[in-house]
Structure 1
Amino acid sequence: MIDALEMDALWEDFHRAVNMTSQELAAWLRVRDADESAEPLPEQAGGPTGQDVLAILQKRRTDLTEDDVRVMYGVVDTVAEQADAGGGPEAEETLRRHRLMTIGHDPLRP
């Protein structure tokens, strides 16, 4: 596990990168996975990383596991990389936004 100072920094970076609430993320994952005939069960909506982010948002810092820490680093890195990749055609930007929203980051938010 990482030391307390590194955990503090990661916790802050993660919550800065994940700018959607757990309720917003859960709703987005359900809507994104819904089709014409059915909506998935809440615990089955979204990909594994989206579900991991949702679980982390519902935890206290002291309850984080090593897997949670790995997910948090991955999300922070992904959001940072994607923030630099903007500026494409509108359809590409919409896809990029939707991909980021599956891990809890809405790039249209300040």
Structure 2
Amino acid sequence: MSKSHDQIWEEWGDLVNMAPKELEDWLETEESKSVGADSGDGESKGHKSGERIIEIKRTNKDDLSDDDWDHMAKVVGYIKRHKAQGGPDDDMEHSDWRYSLMNWGHDPKKD
């Protein structure tokens, strides 16, 4: 059973905790570009997702397309799965685990 737009919106609001400008600045860093699976063109899937997240966050809820809602559900699922894996015990702040989550719009330091 798929989630309703209301369910996706609520989870998105809880999990995507980086503001568009904050995410935009993060995606410009070498740390951001250093993590994630290549999407086939040299840019990671997470990095591409971050760019899409910025667009979605700057869009009025009533103007979101079906593709936007699908991507939002994908982002929510990714963040939940990645967080469930747990971060490193030592240096979480400078870990690939955190960097990957941040590419998907979630900074675990804000939890």
Residues 68-87 of structure 1 correspond to what in structure 2 (within 5 A)? 68-87=68-87
Alpha carbon RMSD of aligned pairs, Å? Answer: 2.6
Aligned structure 1 segments of 4 or more residues deviating by more than 4 angstroms: none
User: 1:103 — aligned with what?
Assistant: 104
Aligned partners of 1:10, 1:98: CA distance in 2, in Å? 23
AA aligned to 2:28 is R
Other-structure match for 1:66:
66
Counterpart AA for 2:15: A
TM-score between the two structures when normalised by the length of structure 1: 0.76
Identity value in percent? 31
3-state SS of the aligned residue for 1:105? coil
- Which amino acid is the alignment partner of residue 62 of structure 2? T
TM-score (norm. length: structure 2): 0.75
Identify the match of residue 12 of structure 1 among 10, 13, 29. 10
Q: 1:43 is matched with which residue?
A: none
Counterparts of 1:47-58 in structure 2, within 5 Å, are 47-58=47-58
CA contact (8 A) 2:87 2:98 kept: no
Cα distance in structure 1, aligned partners of 2:87 and 2:12 = 24
Q: How many residues align?
A: 97
Q: Equivalences for 1:36-55 in 2 at 5 Å?
A: 47-55=47-55
What SS class does the counterpart of residue 26 from structure 2 fall into? helix
Q: 1:87 to 1:98 in 2, by over 3 A?
A: closer
Aligned partners of 1:81 and 1:101: how far apart in 2? 14
Q: Secondary structure at the match of 1:90?
A: coil
Larger Rg: 1
Cα separation, 2, equivalents of 1:102 and 1:66: 22
Which consecutive residues of structure 2, in runs of 5 or more, have no partner in the other structure? 34-45
Letter in 2 for 1:55: E
Measured in 2, the distance between the counterparts of 1:53 and 1:90 equals: 29
The aligned counterpart of 1:22 is: 20
